[in-house]
Structure 1
Amino acid sequence: MRLRRPTDFLILDVLSDGERNTGANIADLIERDRGYVNTQLPTIEDQGFVKKIGPHQNSGLYQITPLGIAAVQKQSLYSESEDEFETAIRELADQIEITRPSVTIHK
């Protein structure tokens, strides 16, 4: 599991409210290059942190997944140990429910 710091965590943080957003909007919010953000979104999608949302496949809308929420919550672990980070976020992701527009962590 590879996340680029700080940009990938910034992207996840913007999406952590459970709302859908586009790469262009995210780039503006985190003050990063639009092309770079649009390149990173499919990469973090492949890792399961975000998912592309319709109504059309090419709409460019993304929404965070429970794994993405967990990554935001546990990001301090990432620099300490990637293995511990991965274990922690997978465990936490099982307790997270995203029902647009809210995020709930069940404990």
Structure 2
Amino acid sequence: MLLRPLDFALLDELTEGRNLGANLHMLVDASSPYTLERLSQLADYGLVRRVGPNENAGLYEITPLGEAALAHREEYGEVDDFEALIEDAVDE
């Protein structure tokens, strides 16, 4: 799992509630295509999920795993297995 600074910014914005990728790119000051690419990757990691009437609606929400990633972001890069760290945090 390779997270980027933008990923943590997106997760942080989603703690405020569900939001559209089209809105999120403005909130994090990044291009729309790059923001949507990162949201797709975060969904693949299980840190966010697509919600709405269908998965292609562009509406995202943070998952418990994403909340754990935010809670442990200071440890990112300092531990050998960040993914295991946040999975363990969710399991507690």
Superposition TM-score, scaled by structure 1 size = 0.79
Q: How does 1:24-103 map to 2 (within 5 A)?
A: 24-83=22-81, 85-95=82-92
- Code of the aligned partner of 1:52: R
Q: Where in structure 2 are there 5+ consecutive unaligned residues?
A: none
Structure with the largest fraction of helix? 2
Number of residue pairs aligned between Structure 1 and Structure 2: 92
Share of identical aligned residues, percent? 43
Q: Counterparts of 1:82 and 1:40 in 2: how far apart (Å)? A: 22
Cα deviations across residues 46-71 of structure 1 (Å, max 9, x unaligned)?
A: 01000000212221000110000000
Structure with the largest fraction of strand? 1
Superposition TM-score, scaled by structure 2 size = 0.90
Aligned-pair Cα RMSD in Å: 1.3
Q: Where in structure 1 are there 5+ consecutive unaligned residues?
A: 96-107
Please name the residue that 1:105 is paired with. Answer: none
Please name the residue that 2:13 is paired with. Answer: 14
